[in-house]
Amino acid sequence: MTAQLLNGAAVAEQIRAQVAKEVAERVAEGKPAPGLATVLVGENPASQVYVKSKHKACQQVGIQSSGYELPASASQGEVEALVRKLNDDPAVNGILVQLPLPSGLDEERVLNTVSLQKDVDGFHPVNIGRLAQKGREPLFIPCTPAGCMVLIESVLPDLNGANAVVLGRSNIVGMPVALLLVRANATVTICHSRTKNLKDVCRSADVLVAAVGRAEMVRGDWVRPGAVVIDVGINRVEDASKAKGYRLVGDVAFDEVKEVAGCITPVPGGVGPMTIAMLLQNTLRAARMAG
């Protein structure tokens, strides 16, 4: 292995410890503990796992978390009414609507209902719009993209003029991480299913962020020697040797790419823990904004 491992789990642990310290200080001042409410609609197994780990992380740092679940059959009005109720609840500082929502629900309208001051996921159209515009500041930055930037900047603090390539243009990761890289003055290329000469474009990257959801798609010869490679993918692949019958792999063929890249995030233990650390930071920030 020639690449330096970007240990997201360790960086996230430091951030969580700092959040825990600051939460304890607020509570010692007589302020209420920050509160996070999660909204889970339907029974997507991956979403259930993610929401559970968010609650566990809140508990560990002293953030009060409450989980709200609605059936997949919930109407648009019911989901929006729940979000409005949470908007009006002073004990709730942050609201996280777990995505994707079941089909039939209008995601944009639900996200638009979340109070801007409680939008700890940064997915409210106004926050995303501000992220996309020069001279504007979103109140919150989406958690996974923010976590990617912390890891990138831990090894490349100056991204001025760096070539950054983002694989994937999702609302949750690809597009916002590209916007953050632009804000950091990188020259950014966003690749997707219609991109031509994908391998060559990836090979031009000083920083490569893979967020497409395709197991081990990025091969060793797609990466420029010395590049910083951030793997956002979490894909299940069958593996009879594991108790669960599967193992988790990223969008990057780790064993090949680690011999070429300068720095690389593992899966698991790379970007995943950073997402949760950023959510905790955003929730503390929301509590501070409230008083």
> Closest separation between CB of residue 104 and ligand GUN, Å?
18
- Note whether 281 binds ligand GUN by CB under 6 A: no
Q: How far is CA 55 from the centre of its chain?
A: 16
Which lies closer to ligand GUN via its Cβ, residue 79 or residue 96? 96
Region 144-163 residues binding ligand GUN, contact defined as CB under 6 A: 144
Strand-pair partners of 36: 65, 94
Give the C-alpha separation, 64 to 36, whole Å: 6
Q: How far apart are CA 4 and CA 155, in angstroms?
A: 10
- The torsion angles phi and psi of 73, rounded to 5 degrees, stand at -80, 0
- Least separation in angstroms between residue 142's CB and ligand GUN is 7
Instruction: Identify the CA nearest to 61 among candidates 104, 108, 94, 103.
Output: 94
98 is catalytic: yes
- Per-residue binding string, ligand GUN, 99-138, x by CB under 6 A, is x---------------------x-----------------
Active site residue 64: no
Q: Which amino acid is at 68?
A: Y
Q: Which span (67-75, 84-92, 96-104, 280-288) binds ligand GUN, by CB under 6 A? A: 96-104
CA separation for the pair 122, 290 (Å, rounded): 17
CB of 39 to ligand GUN, least distance (A): 9
Nearer to ligand GUN, 99 or 215 (CB): 99
Say which of 118, 119, 121, 231 is annotated catalytic: 121
**Coil, strand or helix at 223:** coil
Decide if residue 143 touches ligand GUN (CB under 6 A). Answer: yes
Distance CA 232, CA 120 (A): 20
CA-wise closest residue to 131 among 77, 81, 79, 176:
176
- Cα–Cα separations (whole angstroms), residue 219 to 56, 162, 174, 256: 35, 21, 19, 6
Q: Is 5 or 99 the residue whose CB approaches ligand GUN more closely?
A: 99
Pick between residue 69 and residue 256 the one whose CB is nearest to ligand GUN: 69
Query: Which residue type occupies 228?
Result: V
Q: How far apart are CA 248 and CA 208, in angstroms?
A: 20
CB 254 within 8 A of CB 266: yes
Which of 3, 95, 96, 162 is close enough to bind ligand GUN by CB under 6 A? 96
Site map 12..51 versus ligand GUN, x via CB under 6 A: ----------------------------------------
Q: Is 88 a catalytic residue?
A: no
Tell me if 275 contacts ligand GUN by CB under 6 A: yes
String marking each residue 49-88 x if it binds ligand GUN according to CB under 6 A: ----------------------------------------
Q: Which two tokens stand for residue 210?
A: 């893979």
Task: State yes or no: residue 98 binds ligand GUN (CB under 6 A).
Answer: yes
Q: Which amino acid is at 51?
A: V
Active site residues: 54, 98, 121
Instruction: Return residues touching ligand GUN (CB under 6 A).
Output: 96-99, 121, 143-144, 172, 275
